[in-house]
């Protein structure tokens, strides 16, 4: 009996100790600390944590793999006015004296955005700030409570530390940008295109959004050879889930062309998307932005072409940016040599002045190309560029100079027909146009029978005929003169003989 009493006393003492240890866990949270671990943290992004509620005491338990139990939360001193404000009280939290409970069916993501806006607007102190160098990111030594975590990519989530160790997963992602160009509005878009001066070039930029989107601003920089058509901008939102497309309006974005950057890279224009639109973006939603530009007289001929660079800035302070995809639009030149063969000088090819040409993109001369002369009067060889529509000083034809050489600049890839409209005096005019093809790499090819020969210069020869025999020349006149002289001479001889005989 004594043994049984001793065993009972030991068991009772053990239960008291266990009970006391549980009470300490439930009540003593002033010195307890917790850890928040963020998995899949994005390198070089900044994570900031705010304590919204203090956990005074708790008695957790787990049922069916889920945490339940009793928790006593109070607003932290920094956040009390916010929690009791009309936008939060009874919408996200209910009150019982000083203590708060989460309102059933309230949206935690919506609350997180509201709380983050309050923190930034009122410069609320944070309990930690870490720039990720890899994954994961940890906040340690935190007082137990309910926390809001923000990242420079976008709002992360709200959470508590009652375990006291909590792991969360970065749900945001880094947006991306892709860019394409085409010389036709409905044509194939790629990273490169060709165009003639005065042609319209079409661009397509696709932004792939990620959750937590903040402050999207699309930047676009065009080389001097491209003139932006501001009225051409259109944007379409392509929702990933559910699948739907929506054309955006002026209430969703604005195009800015003035008061841009003071330092490089200086943009041609910005497209600023509204916070409301950014907040509506989900994973892999896309915004397709289309716009156009005109290739102008400042275009780079051949070489690397005329570039258009695009990038997206985003994040809390709009200081993060994507890669810079770039397209190029190339335009080329055609060198022409008008000549004749000097038969008195070993058939040497010599430049021929005075031959007049026109250039068309149609063998039936339906599309006539205009030109503007860019070389000065002292130049040996003439240089022309393709004229813009309605440009002053435009000419429809080109006349070969003394050297016989001229260059046409600003031609896109395609087939051209060089037609001689007037030949120099004494020379035969070409009976058919010279067919010239410029490919997408700027290589010039001239049609030769059924084939095309790659050339550095389009050589155009003019030929002249020989002097033909004439039936009304000096040859007949001389015969008549000699014949007359003979007859006259014969008469004189005959008269002389008669005189001698009569004597």
pLDDT digit string (tens) for the chain, length 503 residues: 444 444 343 333 333 322 222 222 334 455 678 888 888 788 878 888 899 999 888 887 777 766 677 888 999 989 999 999 999 999 999 999 999 998 988 888 788 878 888 888 888 888 877 888 877 888 888 888 888 888 877 666 555 665 677 777 677 778 999 999 999 999 999 999 999 999 999 999 999 998 776 789 999 999 999 999 999 999 999 998 888 899 999 999 999 998 887 766 789 999 999 989 998 888 889 999 999 999 999 999 988 899 999 999 988 778 788 999 999 999 999 999 999 998 878 778 999 999 999 999 877 666 789 999 999 988 999 999 999 988 999 999 999 999 999 999 999 999 999 999 999 999 999 989 999 999 999 999 999 999 999 999 999 999 875 555 655 555 555 555 666 666 676 666 666 666 655 55
Residues 325 and 233 reside in one and the same domain: yes
Q: Would you say residue 503 lies in a domain?
A: no
Residues 160 and 46 reside in one and the same domain: yes
Domain housing 338: 332-461
Closest CA to 289 of 216, 235, 231: 235
DSSP structure string for 354-376: --EEEEESSTTS-SBPPEEE-S-
Residues 338 and 320 reside in one and the same domain: no
The last residue of one of the domains, among 306, 329, 352, is 329
Residues 196 and 306 reside in one and the same domain: yes
Residues 367 and 425 reside in one and the same domain: yes
In this prediction, residue 445 carries a pLDDT of 97
The last residue of one of the domains, among 282, 313, 329, is 329
Residues 375 and 299 reside in one and the same domain: no
381/19 Cα distance (integer angstroms): 104
Q: Would you say residue 395 lies in a domain?
A: yes
The domain total for the chain is 3
In this prediction, residue 24 carries a pLDDT of 28
Contact 319, 313 (CB under 8 A): yes
Residues 292 and 398 reside in one and the same domain: no
The domain that contains 443 carries what CATH number? 2.60.40.10
Q: Would you say residue 82 lies in a domain?
A: yes
Residues 246 and 304 reside in one and the same domain: yes
Q: Would you say residue 488 lies in a domain?
A: no
DSSP structure string for 95-149: EETTEEEEPTT--HHHHHHHHHHHHHHTT---SEEEE-SSS-EEEEEEESEEEEE
35 by Cβ neighbours in 10 Å (0-12 / 13-18 / 19+) ranks as middle
The last residue of one of the domains, among 329, 362, 380, is 329
In this prediction, residue 261 carries a pLDDT of 77
Residues 104 and 48 reside in one and the same domain: yes
* Those residues with Cβ within 8 angstroms of residue 289's Cβ, 6 or more apart along the chain or in another chain: 204, 205, 206, 207, 218, 233, 234, 235, 271
Q: Would you say residue 338 lies in a domain?
A: yes
Q: Would you say residue 276 lies in a domain?
A: yes
In this prediction, residue 3 carries a pLDDT of 45
The residue length of the chain stands at 503
Residues 165 and 271 reside in one and the same domain: no
Q: Would you say residue 24 lies in a domain?
A: no
130/139 Cα distance (integer angstroms): 8
Residues 312 and 180 reside in one and the same domain: yes
The pTM assigned to this predicted structure is: 0.73
Q: Would you say residue 472 lies in a domain?
A: no
Residues 35 and 140 reside in one and the same domain: yes
Q: What does residue 448 show for φ and ψ, rounded to 5 degrees?
A: -135, 95
The domain that contains 280 carries what CATH number? 2.60.40.740
In this prediction, residue 135 carries a pLDDT of 73
In this prediction, residue 66 carries a pLDDT of 67
């Amino acid at each position: 009996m004594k043994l049984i009493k001793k065993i009972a006393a030991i068991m009772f003492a053990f239960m008291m100790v266990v009970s006391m240890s549980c009470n300490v866990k439930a009540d003593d949270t002033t010195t307890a600390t917790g850890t928040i671990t963020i998995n899949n943290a994005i390198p070089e992004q900044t994570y900031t944590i705010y304590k919204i509620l203090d956990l005074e005491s708790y008695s957790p338990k787990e049922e069916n793999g889920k945490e339940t139990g009793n928790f006593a939360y109070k607003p932290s001193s920094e956040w009390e006015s916010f929690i009791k404000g009309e936008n939060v009280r009874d919408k996200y939290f209910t009150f019982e004296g000083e203590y708060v409970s989460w309102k059933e069916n309230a949206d935690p993501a919506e609350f997180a955005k509201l709380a983050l806006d309050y923190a930034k607007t009122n410069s609320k102190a944070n309990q930690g700030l870490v720039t990720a160098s890899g994954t994961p990111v940890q906040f340690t030594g935190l007082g137990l409570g309910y926390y809001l975590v923000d990242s420079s990519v976008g709002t992360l989530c709200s959470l508590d530390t009652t375990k006291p160790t909590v792991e969360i997963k970065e749900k945001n992602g880094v947006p991306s940008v892709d860019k394409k160009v085409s010389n036709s509005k409905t044509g194939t878009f790629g990273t490169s295109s060709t165009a003639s001066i005065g042609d319209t070039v079409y661009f397509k930029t696709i932004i792939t959004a990620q959750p937590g989107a903040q402050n999207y601003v699309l930047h676009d920089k065009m080389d001097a050879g491209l003139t932006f058509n501001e009225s051409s901008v259109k944007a379409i939102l392509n929702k990933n889930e559910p699948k739907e497309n929506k054309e955006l309006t002026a209430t969703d974005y604005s195009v800015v062309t003035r008061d841009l950057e003071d330092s490089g890279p200086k943009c041609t224009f910005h497209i600023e998307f509204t916070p409301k639109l950014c907040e509506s973006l989900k994973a892999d939603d896309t915004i397709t932005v289309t716009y156009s530009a005109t290739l102008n007289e400042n275009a780079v001929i051949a070489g690397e072409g005329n570039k258009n660079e695009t990038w997206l800035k985003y994040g809390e302070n709009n200081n993060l940016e994507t890669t810079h995809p770039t397209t190029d639009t190339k335009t080329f030149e055609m060198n022409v040599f008008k000549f004749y063969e000097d038969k008195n000088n070993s058939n040497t090819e010599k430049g021929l002045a005075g031959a007049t040409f026109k250039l068309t993109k149609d063998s039936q001369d339906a599309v006539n190309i205009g030109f503007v002369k860019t070389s000065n009067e002292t130049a040996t060889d003439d240089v022309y560029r393709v004229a813009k529509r309605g440009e002053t000083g435009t000419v429809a034809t080109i006349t070969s100079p003394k050297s016989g050489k001229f260059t046409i600049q600003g031609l896109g890839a395609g087939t051209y027909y060089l037609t001689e409209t007037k030949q120099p005096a004494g020379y035969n005019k070409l009976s058919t146009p010279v067919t010239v093809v410029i490919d997408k790499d700027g290589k010039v090819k001239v049609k030769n029978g059924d084939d095309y020969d790659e050339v550095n210069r389009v050589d155009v020869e003019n030929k002249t005929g020989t002097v033909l025999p004439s039936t009304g020349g000096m040859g007949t006149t001389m015969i008549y003169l000699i014949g007359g002289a003979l007859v006259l001479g014969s008469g004189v001889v005959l008269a002389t003989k008669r005189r001698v005989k009569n004597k």
